[in-house]
Amino acid sequence: MEVLKMFNRRGELQIALSVWWFFILFFISGGIVISASIYYSTDLDVKWLEADILNQRILDCIIDNSYLVDNISDENVFYENCGLDESKFGKGSKYFFKIWVDDEIVFGGGDYSIEKNCEIKKADIGTSKYFPVCSEKQVLVLDEGGKSVFVLTGSNQNGEVVPGV
């Protein structure tokens, strides 16, 4: 009878131990799985770099030796001179740009809703990582005693995971 009692106690102890053991194991492995998943699903956000590159590129092509080049507002000449793919700045574009000369809009392209979203982002009102990122640059040119050129660009590209075959 004494022996049976001891066995029962041992059995209970074993069950309790194994339940706790699996409980701990479950939490440790859960932690590993969650942290690995977070690490490998990290999204590298380069929208700010893209917007900045586009901005610099536009400035480089519309300004030559501190003077504005001719025909900035001519669509064909602009895209050709700047080496930009015109099809990427059409409807549903992931990019946006606008050029002001002395506070007057001279040319723009891409998705204009990006501009509004950037204003929201700038005001920091509940934005998410899916919001576009913009870049602003202002330079002075020597045309007609000095003019101010302001370029605003934005990118809202997130990249795509291509599904496997």
Partner 1 sequence: MRCHNKRLNKKADVALINVIMFLVLNLIFVLALFVFIDYVGSRALIYEQSYAKQIALIIDNAKPDMVVSLDVSDGLEVAKKTENDFSNAFELKQGRIYVDLGKGGGYSYEYFTNYKIDLNLQGDELLISIQEKEVSDENVVGVTNGGVENV
Binding site for partner 1 (CB under 8 A): 3-4, 7, 10-11, 14, 18, 21-22, 25, 29, 32-33, 36-37, 39-44, 46, 49-50, 53-54, 57, 79-80, 83-89, 94-95, 157, 159-165
Question: Which residue's CB is nearer to partner 1, number 54 or number 101?
Answer: 54
Q: At its nearest, how many Å lie between partner 1 and the CB of residue 161?
A: 6
Question: Which residue's CB is nearer to partner 1, number 32 or number 120?
Answer: 32
Provide DSSP, 27-60.
HHHHHHHHHHHHHHT-----HHHHHHHHHHHHHH
Mark residue 15 as left, alpha or beta (left: phi above 0; alpha: psi -120 to 50; beta: remaining): alpha
Question: Which residue's CB is nearer to partner 1, number 4 or number 125?
Answer: 4
In Å, how far from its chain's centre is CA 162?
18
Question: Which residue's CB is nearer to partner 1, number 18 or number 73?
Answer: 18
Residue 99 · residue 81 · CB < 8 Å: no
Contacts (Cβ under 8 Å, ≥6 apart) of 117: 127, 131, 132, 154, 156
Q: At its nearest, how many Å lie between partner 1 and the CB of residue 101?
A: 22
Q: At its nearest, how many Å lie between partner 1 and the CB of residue 122?
A: 23
Question: Which residue's CB is nearer to partner 1, number 88 or number 122?
Answer: 88
Q: At its nearest, how many Å lie between partner 1 and the CB of residue 125?
A: 28
Residue 73 · residue 107 · CB < 8 Å: yes
Q: Is 97 helix (H, G, I), strand (E, B) or coil?
A: strand
Q: At its nearest, how many Å lie between partner 1 and the CB of residue 49?
A: 6
∠ CA(12), CA(18), CA(22), 5° rounding?
Answer: 150
